[in-house]
Structure formats: C-alpha cells, structure tokens
Amino acid sequence: MADIQNYTLNFGPQHPAAHGVLRMVLELDGEVVQRADPHIGLLHRATEKLAETKTWIQSVPYMDRLDYMSMMVSEHAYCMAIERMIGIDVPIRAQYIRVMFDEITRILNHLLWVGAHGLDVGAMTMVLYAFREREDLVDCYEAVSGARMHAAYFRPGGVYRDLPDTMPKYRESKWKSAAEVKKLNEVRSGTFLDFLQDFVSRFPNIVDEYETLLTDNRIWKQRLVNVGVVSPERALQLGFTGPMLRGSGIAWDLRKKQSYEVYDRLDFDIPVGVTGDCYDRYLVRIEEMRQSNRILQQCIDWLRVNPGPVISDNHKVASPLRANMKSNMEELIHHFKLCTEGMHVPEGQVYSAVEHPKGEFGIYAISDGANKPYRLKIRSPGYVHLSAMDELVRGHMIADVVTMVGTIDIVFGEIDR
Amino acid sequence: MSAKLELLSQNLQKHLGDRIVEAQMALGEISIDVDVTAYLETMLLLRDQSDLGFEQLIDLCGVDYSTYGDGCWSGKRFAVVTHLTSIANNWRLRVRCFAPDDDFPSVPSVVALWNSANWFEREAFDLFGIVFPGHADLRRILTDYGFVGHPFRKDFPVSGYVEMRYDPEQRRVVYEPVTIEPREITPRIVREASYGDVENG
C-alpha cells in the first residue's frame, strides 16, 4: 500500500483571511491540521531600534503605527512610561480625556474585529455595519488630532490639546446636496462632547442589532462554539492577556487590577467567559464594547463640568503654549531645547502596561539619562497570542484555522513591530 | 502599593536568599539580578512558591549594554530581562540575568517553565544573538529568511548592510550593499543628573 504523507499547505502571506502578512505553514492530514508554523516578520520595521536613534518624543507617532487598529492605547503606554521615569503628574482632565480615547479606541478595535471576524467566518454584513459606526469614532480622532488614524494625540505630560468646541462640518458639493449636508451636520452642530454623546446614546442599540445578527445565529455558533478551547491553566502558561485570558474565565483586567489614570473612579464590569472557546471570546468582546460605552458616558459627564489644563506645565517635558512662546523669552528657550535636543529622562528602567483592546500592551524602557531611549522593548499582546497558534489549531479542521486567526485578533503592525 | 512591594520583597528574600545578586526597588517596581548558574532554579521557585506565585511570563527580551551611558558600562555586555506577573497575588517582578560570555552569549531557556517564552527567546536570539540552551526550536523569527547578523546589537548600523531591489535584467530581486549614508540629526547626549532640573521644573 502506498505511504500516505501529510500535505503541507502554505497559508498567506497574501491571503485575505491572514489579517495582514501572516504566513503559515500548515501540515495537514486530510483536512485536519497536524501542525502550524507561523512565519512572521514580513512587516518588521525595527521600531525598537529606530526608537533608540530618536529623541523620546519623536517615537510617539511610531506607537500609532504598531497596532494600527488601536492607535492611542499604544501611545498611552509609551507616554506613561516616560511620565513615570521623569515623575511628572498628568492633569486630571487630561487623564479623563486619555481614558475616554482609550475606550473610543477599544470600541474602534472591537468593531473592526467583529466585522473582520464575521467576514472570515462567513457573515458578510457585519463588516459593513461595523464600519458605519467606526466612521463616527474616527471622526472623533480627527476632531482632536487632525488625523483619522495615526493621531499622536497623547504626549508625555498630558494630551496635545483640549477637546474642540466645534466639530468639522460637511460642505455642499456636487456629490452632496444641501438637504443631505444639513442632515449630516445635525449632530455636528454642537461641541465635540455633544457629538460623542450622540454616539454613546445610540451605541447600545447598535450592539443589540449586532447581537441579533450573530449571537444566536446558527452558522455563527456552528463555526465558533467549542472551537479553539483554551483552559485557564493553559491560557496562563501561554501568556494570554486581555479578552483571550478573560474568555477562559480569568477575571484579569489591568484597568481594575493595576488601575492607571482615572479607571479606579469609573464604574464598569469585567466580562469573563466560561468555556474558553471562540464563542466565549466573541461574547467577551461584545460585552467589553458595552462596558466601554458606559465608561465613555461617565467621562463625557465629568468632562462637561470640569474644565482645566490638559497638559503638564513642566516645560522641560511638555511644550509651552504657542502664544506664550512668542512673548516670553524663557518659554521660547524651553521650546527650542525641546525641539532640538529633546527631553532628558533620568537613568533607570520602567515597565508600563496598559489594558490594550487585544491584551496587555507594555513598554519596557531603559534610559541611561540621555535624550534618547537606551533600549525600548514593546510587549505586544498579539505576538504572544500568535505564538500559541500551533496549540490552538492542532487537531482542528483547516476551515477553523481562519476562525482561530480571527479570534486572536491579530494585527501585524504590533506583532512584527 | 508600597506595602505590597514590601511584602513581595520579603518573600523574595525568604525564598531566594543568596540567589539574588542584587535587588532594586524603584518607580514602584522590583528588579532582581540573578546569576546565570542559579537562573533556572530561581525561576522555578518564582513560579511554584505560592507566596511568590508568578504564573505568567509577560515579557522576555535581550539587552545589549555595550554603549550604555556613553561607554561607562563595565559589566557584561548581554542580558536577558524577564517580566513576570502573578495573577493570584497581583504583583510584578523583573528578573535580569547577564550572559557570562560576551562573544557567545548564552542563558538557559525557560520555555519549559513558561511556554509563552518560546517566541520571546527566538526573538532575543534573532535580534541579539543570545543562545538559549534547552529551547527546542531556536530559529530566527523577525528578520528575513537568510539574514546575516543580529540587528539589535549596538554595533549593527540602523541602515543595515544590504538593500534589495528588483533587477529587470536578471528578473529577480537582488541584494546589494547598502547605499544609504548613515546620519544622525539629533545627537545622543547624556547630561549630568541635575542638568535642567527636570524634577523641580
């Protein structure tokens, strides 16, 4: 009898379900995966090495480009690392703004995730709905920073500027009639917070809509339930964090357990899964969107009534106001020093972690007292989750590989760095 | 938080004792240095003693100290830095282990203790050339297939040594020596500690 050999299949790097540039060598026995070997690094840009050659502040925009689906959260970890080493305090209003944008980012990330995961598994509609809602949130990004994705809005010492009083408006053109523009601009007539408030009050119903499409959907459940089960012990052993760990039933969330900024003043719950399969991780992420929405509401209420500074007045770290710079010699010198030599961070090392939408995102920085980091290590959650790919897919059918890639929520910007 | 750190520090003293070469408490974090010979047993104790309870390895990375502080570094060149987290006790620890040989850096692998170290060690091997005896599959991970050198070492230039382009005559991608001139726009400056008085600003 002829010897039947395992079939080796090359998945990606140019595959729509590979979520970027994942190349995976799959060893198949019939339709069953025996071994998976992910090859990564196709998007490796050596961010950590580049950061060693830039001043501390110049690396902030690099952080956006790590996980390009949750931009501001990565900035947050980086800014917090610098703040902790220098030992400066962030104004309370800036902390609320940061938390608010962290949660906007979390919703942005999870919306894309639920859309892309749906698309992978066969629910075409989800991605269209998810992008409709993402549009409002990237508008929020644009309103505060001018950029829809790579904001560079968080700065060491606070945030770049306060929330705007007006929202950018649509203008009449040959593609948009006056009536259409009027309708589009209705929610944009007030302040930034009014615009976000409108989204926050609509969003719970929108999530309900998503759930009617997916949660009890027979096909969705057939593809997800009991697929990729990870026990709590294995999840810890494999270094899982974020929704991947909570899906396995461990209530670990840095926002609660090692609270940073003003998360300890806010009221929200941590959803956990029971069986640790892909379906539980889906439910966890859906519930996280609802909880993020709750946090957003509390931030809006607080920010409406509490004006104040949004960036530290320590001008050795944060740039002075443009107006003062023009009239005040000392501030001009500060600005000049910051823009040429940059800030100096005292010698030492720090690990600052935030609860990123995908898990624990950490920045380990070593400074030798120079104006540039000596070593910067980015601990990205996706990297660790993807390293468990082999264990996740082993023994599953080849179609489930796509489900597993989806459930990990991988983005190659942060995995390859 | 500080009471918690105090407790962790006491527990570390109790279980590890002389295995700690140096302990440091700064910025709300505890870092310990461990000798390479005691590395594995220390890590095992850290994981299995319930009043330490580090069930998760969060991060592992290599560090090249050769140009630290503009040449004032006198210790060993390569170190492996590990960040551990205890879910049960809710605390963190940083463990640093210097590789004894600068020319052939080698630190025992902890993959058997924490499976999450797998790719981290591959990364440290790829970028710094640190070898991890005990790792079953120590291949390059982030750099190109067929890459030569360890790019995160301080003596490796940021622009690298080779660049690639498509050659229409040979009809394939060819590698050539890099043509970028190295340049530094903002020089790297180490100032004395009190310069500019950042703390009191």
- How many other CB atoms are there within 10 angstroms of residue A324's CB atom? 14
What are the counts of helices (DSSP H) followed by strands (DSSP E) for chain B?
3, 7
**Cis peptide bond upstream of A13, omega within 30:** yes
Is B98 exposed, middle or buried (CB count within 10 Å of its CB: 0-12, 13-18, 19+)?
buried
Query: Which residues, at least 6 apart from A165, have a Cβ–Cβ distance to it below 8 Å?
Result: A191, A192
User: Residue B197: pLDDT above 60?
Assistant: no
Is B188 within 8 Å of A371 when comparing Cβ atoms? Answer: yes
Helix (H, G, I), strand (E, B) or coil at A209: helix
Other CB atoms within 10 Å distance of the CB of residue A288 = 25
Nearest-CB residue to A257 (from B63, B90, B144):
B90
Q: Model confidence at A337, in pLDDT bands (50, 70, 90)? A: confident
Per residue in A306-318, pLDDT tens? 888 998 888 888 8
Chains A and B form CB pairs within 8 A to the count of: 134
What distance in Å separates residue B18's CA from the closest CA in chain A? 24
Convert the pLDDT of each residue in B25-77 to its tens digit. Answer: 888 889 999 989 989 989 998 888 888 889 899 999 999 998 888 777 888 88
Q: How confident is the model at residue B200 (pLDDT cuts 50, 70, 90)?
A: very low
Higher pLDDT, B6 or A15: B6
pLDDT band, residue B195 (cuts 50/70/90): low
Q: Does residue B188 sit at the A interface (CB-CB below 8 Å)? A: yes
Give the per-residue pLDDT at B193. 65
Interface check B153 vs A, CB under 8 A: no
Taking residue B4's Cβ as centre, other Cβ atoms within 10 Å add up to 12
For residue A78, give both structure tokens: 């980086």
Minimal-distance CA residue of chain A relative to B82 = A364
Which residues are registered as beta bridge partners of A154? A159
Instruction: Identify the weakest region by mean pLDDT among A112-121, A195-204, A254-263, B184-193.
Output: B184-193
What is the average per-residue pLDDT within B181-186?
83
Instruction: Select from A360, A368, A408 the residue whose CB has the most chain B CBs within 10 Å, as the one to mutate to test that interface.
Output: A368
Q: Report chain B residues whose CB lies below 8 A from the CB of A341.
A: 186, 189
Predicted TM-score (pTM) of this structure: 0.90
Find the residue in A nearest to B63 (Cα).
A375
Nearest-CA distance A175 → chain B (Å): 42
A140-147: list long-range contacts, CB under 8 Å, 24+ apart. A140/A101, A140/A104, A140/A192, A140/A195, A140/A196, A140/A199, A141/A71, A141/A72, A141/A101, A141/A104, A142/A168, A143/A167, A143/A168, A143/A192, A143/A195, A144/A101, A144/A192
Both tokens of A318, joined, read 């944060």
Give me the pLDDT at residue A324, please: 86
Contact at 8 Å (CB) between A416 and A48? no
Query: Smallest Cα–Cα separation from A318: which of A300, A305, A301, A337?
Result: A337
CA distance A344 to chain B (A): 8
At A228, the pLDDT band (50, 70, 90 cuts) reads confident
Helix, coil or strand: residue A339: helix
Per-residue model confidence (pLDDT) at position B94: 92
Tell me: the pLDDT tens digits for A36-79?
999 998 889 889 999 999 899 999 999 988 888 888 999 999 99
Q: Is the pLDDT of residue B111 over 80?
A: yes
For the cut 80, the answer to whether the pLDDT of residue B109 exceeds it is yes
Who contacts B48 (Cβ-Cβ below 8 Å, separation ≥6)? none
Show the CA angle centred on residue B156, arms to residues A344 and B192, nearest 5°. 20
Whether B98 has a pLDDT exceeding 70, the answer reads yes
The shortest CB-CB distance from B152 to any of A49, A239, A314 is to A49
Q: Give the pair of three-digit tokens for residue A115.
A: 């859309």
Cβ of A415: how many Cβ atoms within 10 Å? Answer: 30
For an interface test with B, give the residue of A317, A331, A349, A356 to mutate (most B CBs within 10 A). A349
Confidence of residue B201 (pLDDT cuts 50, 70, 90): very low
Which residue's structure tokens are 């030569």?
B148
Give the position of tokens 């790097």. A13
CB-based contact B27 A375, cutoff 8 Å:
no
β-strands B162-167, B91-98: how paired? unpaired
Residue A99 pLDDT greater than 90, yes or no? yes
> Do A371 and B119 count as a contact with CB atoms less than 8 A apart?
no
For this complex, say whether ipTM is above 0.90: no
Mutate which of B72, B110, B122, B142 to disrupt the A interface (most A C-beta within 10 Å)?
A: B142
Above 80 in pLDDT, residue A1? no
- Quick one: closest CA in B to A340, which residue? B186
What's residue B169's pLDDT?
93
Mutate: best of B143, B186, B194, B200, partner A, most A CBs <10 A: B186
- Whole-number Å distance between alpha carbons of B83 and B60: 6
pLDDT for B3? 84
What is the mean predicted confidence (pLDDT) over A325-345? Answer: 88
Angle at A313 between CA A308 and CA A316, to 5 degrees: 160
For chain A, say whether B9 makes contact (Cβ under 8 Å). no
Helices (H) and strands (E) in chain A, counts: 18, 8
Cα–Cα–Cα angle for A249, A255, A261, nearest 5°? Answer: 180
Distance linking the first and last C-alpha atoms of chain B: 26
Q: Which of B30, B83, B154 is nearest to A378 (CA)?
A: B83
pLDDT tens-digit map of A364-406:
999 988 889 999 999 999 999 999 999 989 888 888 888 888 8
Report the chain A residue with the minimal C-alpha distance to residue B159: A50
What pLDDT score does A298 carry? 93
What pLDDT score was predicted for residue A125?
Answer: 87
| Chain A residue closest in CA terms to B89 | A257
- Residue B180 has what DSSP assignment? P
Q: Which of B26, B81, B198 sits opposite A86 (nearest CB)?
A: B198
Stretch 79-118 of chain B: residues touching chain A, C-beta under 8 Å:
81, 83, 87, 90, 92, 94, 114-116, 118
Q: Is the pLDDT of residue B173 over 70?
A: yes
Establish if B74 touches chain A: CB-CB under 8 angstroms: no
Whether the per-residue pLDDT at B199 is higher than 60: the answer is: no
Pick A17 or B98 by higher pLDDT.
B98
CA nearest to B189 within chain A = A370
Q: Does residue A244 surpass a pLDDT of 50?
A: yes
Q: Terminal CA-to-CA distance of chain A, rounded, Å?
A: 49
Q: Please tell me the predicted confidence (pLDDT) of residue B1.
A: 55
Residue A129 has pLDDT above 70, yes or no: yes
**pLDDT tens profile B63-72:** 999 888 877 7
Mean per-residue pLDDT for B161-170?
A: 91
Set of chain B residues whose Cβ sits within 8 Å of the Cβ of A320: none
- Reading the block at residue A253, the tokens are 């969330």
CB contact under 8 A, B68 and A362: no
**What average pLDDT does the structure give for chain A?**
89
Per DSSP, helices labelled H in A152-277 are 178-185, 192-214, 218-224, 232-237, 243-246, 254-257
pLDDT, tens digit, for every residue of A185-213? 888 888 999 999 999 999 999 999 999 98
Query: Residue B141: which of A40, A54, A388 has the nearest Cβ?
Result: A40
Non-local CB neighbours of A205 within 8 Å, separated by 6+ positions: none
